[in-house]
Amino acid sequence: MSVDVPLLSESDWREECAAVVRDVGQFVSFIRVSEKLEVSSGDALKVAAASLISFSQSSSSCVYLNITTLEDRLFTVELTARGFRVVASGSHDLIGKRESEVGSTVTYETPYSLLQSISQKFSGEFGRSLQLRLEALAPRSPQS
């Protein structure tokens, strides 16, 4: 069974990016929605809802993020209905040195999988964060 959902507006894309920034901001040195690269909205964006939600691949709607990893590597990342894709490395606000020129055209489904591929320090920081959260939830045993 599929359910059609209206296309994402510019404000919807910006909200999606704001959520990404909140989710992964502590695991990078810098992350912001690009002010220089514009949000684009293309063809109608439909979503098939079943057990998972996936976007059609015909849309060109996107938002750009500027990311600096914990290793101080700069990236411009495109967020589309397909996911996250590095469109430039070594600079912010640039769509120039395409990822295909540096060896990959991979689109990542989550910001976590993207960061794991571009930042060696991400996994360690993310793991430490999870450990701290779990320790905070663990019941304290009474001391004898």
In a domain, 129, yes or no: yes
Give the global pTM.
Answer: 0.69
In a domain, 140, yes or no: no
Position 61 scores a pLDDT of 75
Residue 126 has pLDDT above 90, yes or no: yes
Query: Secondary structure of the chain: what % helix, strand, coil (to 5)?
Result: 35, 25, 45
The strand pairing partners of 49, in sequence order, are 53
3-7 mean pLDDT = 48
pLDDT higher than 50, residue 60: no
Higher pLDDT, 91 or 117: 117
What are residue 108's phi and psi, to 5 degrees? Answer: -100, 140
- Give the pLDDT confidence score for residue 97 in this predicted structure: 53
Where does 1-144 have alpha helices with state H? 10-24, 111-118, 120-137
Supply the range of the domain harboring residue 108.
Answer: 10-135
| Residue 124 included in any domain | yes
pLDDT above 50 (res 18): yes
Is residue 34 assigned to a domain?
yes
d(CA 59, CA 82): 9
Residue 3 lies in a domain: no
Q: How far apart are CA 6 and CA 61, in angstroms?
A: 13
Question: Look-up: residue for tokens 């991979």?
Answer: 106
In a domain, 59, yes or no: yes
Which has more confidence, 84 or 2?
Answer: 84
CATH number of residue 103's parent domain: 3.30.2280.10
72 lies in a domain? Answer: yes
Give the total number of structural domains in the chain: 1
Band of residue 80 on the pLDDT scale cut at 50, 70, 90: confident
Whether the predicted pLDDT of 5 surpasses 50:
no
Distances (CA, A) of 26 to 50, 83, 125, 129: 32, 20, 9, 9
